[in-house]
């Protein structure tokens, strides 16, 4: 879960939250408040995110949308900081469902898609299946069947990838029901029948009462469409029996609303008004205006069909009043959305600032402070990476070590400040060389490293010779040099295609030996050889270097 805090009392609070969530709202909120206080006192962001999330979830179950949104908004920022990605995905799913219940489809779509992105990025498969089912239903309810079918099929493929049907039957059942219903709404009854058969064959043995109710609503509509009224009426009777067991019918609210439409269509007023009465009581207790409107809409259709003018007018008036309340609620929903957006934007801005600081610190840790070139730390990482790349792609690699001729004498006679300026001047020339194939670093003191990737031996030698000439062109006075009265450099270069087992040290060790040979021989010169130290005679192919 990624929640910090090892205190036994805190762990007990957390377990209490997980045990009581969805069962005892008051106790859950009390535990969350205790955790929140502790987390703030101990500056535990992960624990605080945990508390805000489960507070938000509890307010969602209580239909307290304002408190739900505010807690979830605070949770998302902290959950993102501490890598609790599953809770973030669940947060967006909750906000989306609340938006659907409030009738705000566009907000719901935005939240679902954001949650889906987190699931895909961090591999949260179980939550991804739930969100895809919810997205599919949102499209299906609005008549966009092709998109709905696409999400249902993706969810189905994820469910099928889990061989344990018993563990995964809820997701599999939802996929079959949703696909069957989607095809049924498009008039493709043969495909609807195929998925009903899959339900009976693969899921029926695991059904609980609420699952039977869910599936029977689909079957009743299907059998009516194919004119199998005996099977239809059998499903209706089973639905009535299950509803009278006092199951949690709000879990299949949409399915029962559609089923009520069927009852209205076939004149089963007894079943219609029995279900409407139960739904009416539940949605009033929920306080969700949009759900109340949907039940009243069914009533209005029933009164109109039965020519009950008094009932019709009363229901129509109540529908209008609820619509006005819902309009105000939608404004509140927009305020909540803006609050969430602004909270997330502040969190993102804080994250971006932190990332910028981290990038700056990383760059500082990899950069030689005096010259601005890469330092030894970055050199070590880059050299191994480029060697592996060249080995894998069979590309030539060259590593050069160079230093300033008679630099000790320069430092002793011109002073350390002047010596630093000399090193900086050399580094500036190296910076001009850097490109996608050429990497330069300060090795330490007056020594520098150049790495050439994918260049021919002739190209490497030409670049090295050009660097030597450019440094001489600076005409930095060095009257204490035994090479020339100006600053010069000596260069040792190892070259070749990396072989299995080679490491960057092999190239650098050879380059160091070649540099020693140049110093021993004459200074102000270049020596290039293969990794075994066999010199390559390329000097005749280059233009003569002039002091």
Q: What is the DSSP letter of 249?
A: G
Per-residue pLDDT reduced to its tens digit, 63-86: 777 788 889 988 988 898 888 999
CB 206 within 8 A of CB 166: yes
Task: Check pLDDT > 60 for residue 6.
Answer: no
Residue 377: pLDDT band (50, 70, 90) is: confident
Q: Is the pLDDT of residue 101 over 80?
A: no
Helix (H) or strand (E) holding 489: strand 489-496
- Residue 386, token pair as written in the block: 């480029």
Residue 451 CB coordination number (10 Å): 23
N residues, the chain: 547
Confidence check: pLDDT of 59 > 90: no
CA distances from 461 to 48, 437, 534 (A): 61, 14, 15
Q: Express the helix, strand and coil content of the chain in percent, nearest 5 each.
A: 70, 5, 20
Question: Cβ distance 37 to 30 under 8 Å?
Answer: no
- pLDDT reported for residue 4: 46
User: Could you give the C-alpha distances from 298 to 216, 256, 292, in angstroms and in order?
Assistant: 20, 11, 10
How many helices (H) and strands (E) the chain has is answered by: 21, 5
Unique residue bearing structure tokens 């949260």? 124
Average pLDDT over residues 326-337: 66
Written as six digits, the tokens of 147 are 């998109």
Q: What angle do CA 534, 537, 540 make, to 5 degrees?
A: 170
Q: What are phi and psi of 450, to 5 degrees?
A: -125, 130
373: which DSSP letter? Answer: S
Class of residue 84 by CB neighbours under 10 A (exposed 0-12, middle 13-18, buried 19+): buried
Cα–Cα distances (Å) from 166 to 170, 172, 194, 200, in that order, read 8, 10, 21, 14
Domains of the chain: 1-118 (1.25.40.10), 376-541 (3.30.70.270)
**Residue 498, number of CB atoms within 10 A of its CB:** 22
pLDDT at residue 363 greater than cutoff 90: no
Residue 541 pLDDT > 60: no
SS3 track for 175-209: HHHHHHHHHHHCCCHHHHHHHHHHHHHHHHHHCCH
DSSP assignments along 396-448, one per residue: -EEEEEEEETTHHHHHHHH-HHHHHHHHHHHHHHHHHH-SSSEEEEEEETTEE
In the structure, what pLDDT confidence band is assigned to residue 400 with cuts at 50, 70 and 90? very high
pLDDT digits (tens, 9 = 90+) for 138-163: 999 889 999 999 999 999 988 887 65
Contact present, 449 and 440 (Cβ < 8 Å): yes
Burial label for 30, CB within 10 Å (0-12, 13-18, 19+), is middle
Q: Is the pLDDT reported for residue 454 higher than 50? A: yes
527 three-state secondary structure: strand
Q: Strands 489-496, 526-530: parallel, antiparallel or unpaired by DSSP?
A: parallel
For 269-335, the DSSP string reads HHHHHHHHHHHHHHHHHHT-HHHHHHHHHHHHHHHHHTT-HHHHHHHHHHHHHHHHHHHHHHHHHHH
- pLDDT of 544 > 50? The answer is no
Mean pLDDT for 420-439 is 94
- Identify whether the C-beta of residue 539 lies closer than 8 Å to the C-beta of residue 526: yes
- The contacts of residue 107 (CB under 8 Å, 6+ apart) are 95, 96, 99, 333, 337
DSSP state letter for 468: H
The pLDDT assigned to 98 comes to: 84
Stretch 501-510: mean pLDDT, rounded?
91
pTM here is 0.58
- HSE-up (13 A, CA, CB side) for residue 355: 7
Q: Helix or strand or coil: residue 367?
A: strand
Give me the phi and psi of 152, to 5 degrees please.
-65, -40
Separation of first and last alpha carbons in the chain: 68
Q: Which two tokens stand for residue 212?
A: 């039977």
Q: What is the pLDDT of residue 5?
A: 43
């Amino acid at each position: 879960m990624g929640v910090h805090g090892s205190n036994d009392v805190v762990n007990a609070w957390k377990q209490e939250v997980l045990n009581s969530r969805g069962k005892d709202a008051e106790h859950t909120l009390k535990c969350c408040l205790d955790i929140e206080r502790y987390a703030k006192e101990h500056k535990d962001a992960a624990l605080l995110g945990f508390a805000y999330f489960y507070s938000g979830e509890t307010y969602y179950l209580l239909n307290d949308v304002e408190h739900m949104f505010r807690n979830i908004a605070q949770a998302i920022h902290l959950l993102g900081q501490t890598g609790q990605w599953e809770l973030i995905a669940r947060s967006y799913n909750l906000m989306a469902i609340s938006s659907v219940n409030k009738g705000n489809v566009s907000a719901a779509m935005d939240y679902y898609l954001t949650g889906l992105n987190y699931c895909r990025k961090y591999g949260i498969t179980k939550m991804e299946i739930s969100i895809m089912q919810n997205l599919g239903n949102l499209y299906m309810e609005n008549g966009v069947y092709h998109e709905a079918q696409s999400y249902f099929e993706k969810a189905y493929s994820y469910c099928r990838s889990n061989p344990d049907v018993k563990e995964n039957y809820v997701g599999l059942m939802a996929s079959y029901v949703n696909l069957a219903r989607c095809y049924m709404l498009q008039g493709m009854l043969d495909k609807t029948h195929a998925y009903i058969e899959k339900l009976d064959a693969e899921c029926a043995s695991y059904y609980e009462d609420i699952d039977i109710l869910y599936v029977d609503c689909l079957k009743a509509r299907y059998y009516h469409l194919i004119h199998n009224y005996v099977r239809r009426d059998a499903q209706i009777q089973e639905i009535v029996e299950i509803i009278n067991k006092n199951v949690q019918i709000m879990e299949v609210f949409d399915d029962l609303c559609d089923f009520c439409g069927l009852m209205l269509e076939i004149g089963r007023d007894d079943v219609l008004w029995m279900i409407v009465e139960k739904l009416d009581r539940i949605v009033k207790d929920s306080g969700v205006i949009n759900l109340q409107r949907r039940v009243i809409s069914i009533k209005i259709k029933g009164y109109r069909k039965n020519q009950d003018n008094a009932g019709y007018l009363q229901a129509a008036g109540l529908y209008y009043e609820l619509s006005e309340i819902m309009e105000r609620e939608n404004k509140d929903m927009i305020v909540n959305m803006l609050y969430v957006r602004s909270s997330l934007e502040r969190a993102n801005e804080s994250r971006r600032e932190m990332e910028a600081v981290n990038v700056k610190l990383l760059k500082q840790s990899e950069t030689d402070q005096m010259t601005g070139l890469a330092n030894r730390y970055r050199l070590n990482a880059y050299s191994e990476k480029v060697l592996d790349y060249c080995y894998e792609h069979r590309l030539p690699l060259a590593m050069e070590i160079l230093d300033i001729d008679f630099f000790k004498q320069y430092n002793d006679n011109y002073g350390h400040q002047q010596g630093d300026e000399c090193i900086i001047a050399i580094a500036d020339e190296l910076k001009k060389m850097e490109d996608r194939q050429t990497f330069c670093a300060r090795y330490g003191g007056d020594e520098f490293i150049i790495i050439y990737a994918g260049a021919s031996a002739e190209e490497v030698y030409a670049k090295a010779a050009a660097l030597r000439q450019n440094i001489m062109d600076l005409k930095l006075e060095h009257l204490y040099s035994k090479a020339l009265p100006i600053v010069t450099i000596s260069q040792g270069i190892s070259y070749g295609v990396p072989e299995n087992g080679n490491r960057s040290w092999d190239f650098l060790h050879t380059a160091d030996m070649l540099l020693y040979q140049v110093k021993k021989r004459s200074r102000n010169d270049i020596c290039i050889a293969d990794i075994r130290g066999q010199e390559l005679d390329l000097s005749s192919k280059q233009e003569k270097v002039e002091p």
